[in-house]
Structures are given as C-alpha cells and as structure tokens.
Amino acid sequence: MSLLNGSTLHDFRVTNFKCFEDLNLTQLGQVNLVVGRNSVGKSSLLEALYAYRSEDPIDALDSIASLRGESWRPSSRGAAILSLFRTSPRPGSEMLLGPIDDPLRIRLRAFNRRKDEEGYWRYEPAPDSTPSDSLFGQLTTRVLRDASQGIELQFRGEILRRMILDSRYRLRKRTATIGMQGPEQQTECVFVGAGGLPVSILSSLWDLVALSASEDEVVELVRSVFPAVERISMIGRYEGTEATGERRAFVKAVGFSEPVPIQRIGDGVGRILGIAIALVNAKNLLLLDEFENGLHYSIHESVWRFIFEASLRLGVQVFVTTHSLDCIKAFSRVAARSDAVGSLIRLEEKGGKIRAVQVDEKTLEIAERNAVELR
C-alpha cells in the first residue's frame, strides 16, 4: 500500500451538523465508499466534507441548505446556515467540521454593538450567557438595539470571519477575512451529485483542461470504460456568431461517421465523463453521490479501477456513496488489487445517534467472499 499524501484527510469529525450529533471517522483511505440505509446521512457526510474543503465554507453551507430546500426562510442566507445545525441554534452553539483534533468551528455568537470615536458601529463578542442571548428564532427589535446575533468562523484558534445577522436572518455585515486563510484554502473540491454535474459546471471544468494533457487524461479515463470513444468536445448552439444555449458534450466514436451527443452513446458515458472531468480538476478531493446512477452493474469494476488508479496518480482523495450491492462487491475486488488504500464506511443509527462502522480492505475481502451483507 502506498503512503497517503500530506493533504489527505486521515480522519474527520462532524459535530452538530444536520443528522450528526458527533460523528468521528478514523483510518480514512485514498478511496472511501460510504454505505448505509436511507436517512443515515450518507449525502450529508459528503456535504460536510464539501463545506470543510471549500474556499468559502459559509457560501458552501448556504448552497447546501438552499439546493436541498432545507432552509426555513429560503430568501435568507443566514437562516439557511442556521437550519443546518442539528440542535436548536442559539449563541454558543458550535458546528465542527474537519480533522478530529483540528476542526473548523462554525460558532453562533451574540455581538454587542457600539460606536467608536469616529462614529462607526463596531461589533464585539458578548458573553454567551448575557440576558440578550435569546434563541435565534426569537429576535426582537429591542434586542437588536443592544446586541446582534451572528456567525463566527474559527480555525486553529484564529477568527477567520464574522457575519452579523439582521432581524430577518440576513447577513447584514460581513467582516474581511482575518489572519489565516482557513483550512486548505488553496485546494479544490469537486462534488458530483446523484444527478451528475450540471451542464454549466461540466462546461466550465472542461474549459480548464481543454487542449492540455489533462484533456488527454479525461479521454483515456472514459475510453478505459468505453473503448469506442475516440474524442470528446463541448459544443454550443450558434446563430451566426452568437451562442444561443448551453454547450453539450459531443463524442467522436467508432461506428459513427459524425460527432454525436454523448447521450447517443448512453447515459453511462455521460456519467463517466462527469467523474473523469471532476477527477482531473479536483486538486484535493472528489465527492461522488450515488455511484450506481446511470451505470450498469457490469461496468462497476471498470469504473472503480479507473477511480483507484486516477486518484492515486493525481493525489486526489475520493469519497463515494452507494445503495448498490454490486457497487460494493466491485469496490472490494478492485481495492484488494490496488496500491491505493480503500476503506468502506458503514453509517448506522443506534439509540438515536448516527455512528460509523469502518471496514478495512482485508475484512471487506472476507465479507465479500462469504456474502456478508454490508449495506
């Protein structure tokens, strides 16, 4: 087995986020498969990883809540973020995302407001036990005259950012980043959802690799699963010189005299293309929700093989979710033969708390050989 590179997550903690009270993952691999029944938080775990590795965790949290329709006040970014806390949000509440001993802290605070000598309003943290610290859901005009509620981002003891909320939970004041740039800000994380990458994002990621060695790598990754594919391009519709719509992926393939939309070859090719483009663009982390979507079980092993090989070669750590037993079996077979470390994480609910049961490659191989149910 190869050693994990320096930017790889060896462990991860999720506290007070959505369904997770306090989830701790240890001995993570280069490629990690997350399984479990519905509603145990498989997708939520990917979202927590995405928020931690994003350049702006607050924007990431807002996107997570908004896209899933989980905010109880859709027009408010502040409310969207508050809705992701597992417990009722109140000053002093903390959400932890990151390595077990060194997590990013998203903390709800009360801030006293005062004018400085030049007449500008300044916000200073108030003690969490002050009388004005009512629940965020019970803000009043009187309270806002004396104190404001807000969100504070902390990492390694440093305050990265403070955001003040108004009475409608909108972010009304956002300070500049203070000191450090946060956890792994220079890295990039790509999240491929259950429905694949949106066309606009797929096009943008393609443009980043077009006419480079990475483009050749994308084509080779797709061809490793679908050998008939020869070339790939993103093509838009034009009237004269004006673009009239989103670009679509076209392929030149054996058996076709002209380039055809990738869907003509099959939905699986589009899914593989999205994974391949995400892999070469993710400088650090690839998140893939519901692996099996659009993929016939007969190609699962081929897809896993290129994920393991590419993740090791590119230094990209991968987290994938699935409900499919065929996917788990294929993962087990490829992990046993790969130099990249594979780890299976089973999320389960016990006593109202989500916990993780982790299975290493040797145990996974034994379980697969003896038809042990791992889902």
The CATH number of residue 25's host domain is 3.40.50.300
pLDDT bin (cut points 50, 70, 90) of residue 283 is confident
Please report which confidence band the pLDDT of residue 184 belongs to, taking 50, 70 and 90 as the band edges: very low
Residues 108 and 180 in one domain: yes
- Mean per-residue pLDDT of the chain: 78
Q: What is the mean pLDDT of residues 109-130?
A: 70
In this structure, are 62 and 146 located in the same domain? yes
Q: Which residue range(s) make up the domain with 266?
A: 198-280
The segment with the largest mean pLDDT, out of 114-118, 182-186, 240-244, 330-334, is 330-334
**Per-residue pLDDT tens for 234-271?**
887 655 556 556 788 888 888 888 888 887 887 788 88
Q: What is the pTM (predicted TM-score) of this model?
A: 0.82
Q: Using one digit for the tens of pLDDT, what is the confidence trace for 315-359?
A: 999 999 999 999 999 999 999 999 888 999 999 998 889 999 987
Cα 304 from Cα 84, distance rounded (Å)? 32
Check residues 235 and 131 and name the one with the higher pLDDT. 235
Q: Is the pLDDT of residue 199 over 50?
A: yes
Q: Are residues 61 and 176 in the same domain?
A: yes
> Computed over its alpha carbons, how large is the radius of gyration of the chain?
23
**pLDDT more than 90, % of the chain:** 28
Q: Are residues 176 and 223 in the same domain?
A: no
On whether both 257 and 298 belong to a single domain, the answer is no
Comparison of pLDDT for 128 and 112, the residue scoring more: 112
Q: Are residues 251 and 304 in the same domain?
A: no
pLDDT at residue 178, rounded to an integer = 30
Do 33 and 21 reside in the same domain of the chain? yes
- Whether 180 has a pLDDT exceeding 60, the answer reads no
Give the pLDDT confidence score for residue 179 in this predicted structure.
29
Residue 205 reports pLDDT greater than 70 = yes
Inside any domain, residue 94: yes
Q: Do 291 and 323 lie in a common domain?
A: yes
Which domain-ending residue is among 153, 184, 215? 184
Q: Which long-range contacts (CB under 8 A, 24 or more apart) does 330-334 make?
A: 330/297, 330/300, 330/301, 330/303, 330/304, 331/31, 331/33, 331/300, 331/304, 331/364, 332/361, 332/364, 332/365, 332/367, 332/368, 333/301, 333/304, 333/368, 334/301, 334/304, 334/305, 334/308
Q: Are residues 49 and 148 in the same domain?
A: no
Residue 312: C-alpha distances to residues 4, 5, 337, 363 (Å) = 9, 9, 13, 22
Residue pLDDT, tens place only, 220-242: 888 888 888 888 888 876 555 56
Pick the range with the lowest mean pLDDT from 3-17, 98-112, 118-132. 118-132
Same domain, 306 and 235: no
Q: For residue 47, is pLDDT > 90?
A: yes
Domain-ending residue, one of 280, 308, 342: 280
Q: 294 and 317 in one domain?
A: yes
Indicate the residue among 280, 306, 341 that finishes a domain.
Answer: 280
Count of domains forming the chain: 3
Question: What is the pLDDT at residue 148?
Answer: 67
Domain presence at residue 191: no
Q: Is residue 233 a part of any domain in this protein?
A: yes
Residue 252 within a domain: yes
Question: Does some domain include residue 189?
Answer: no
Output 9 or 237, whichever has higher pLDDT. Answer: 9
Q: Please tell me whether residues 36 and 124 are part of one structural domain.
A: no
Is pLDDT at 113 greater than 90 in this prediction?
no
Q: Which amino acid is at 20?
A: F
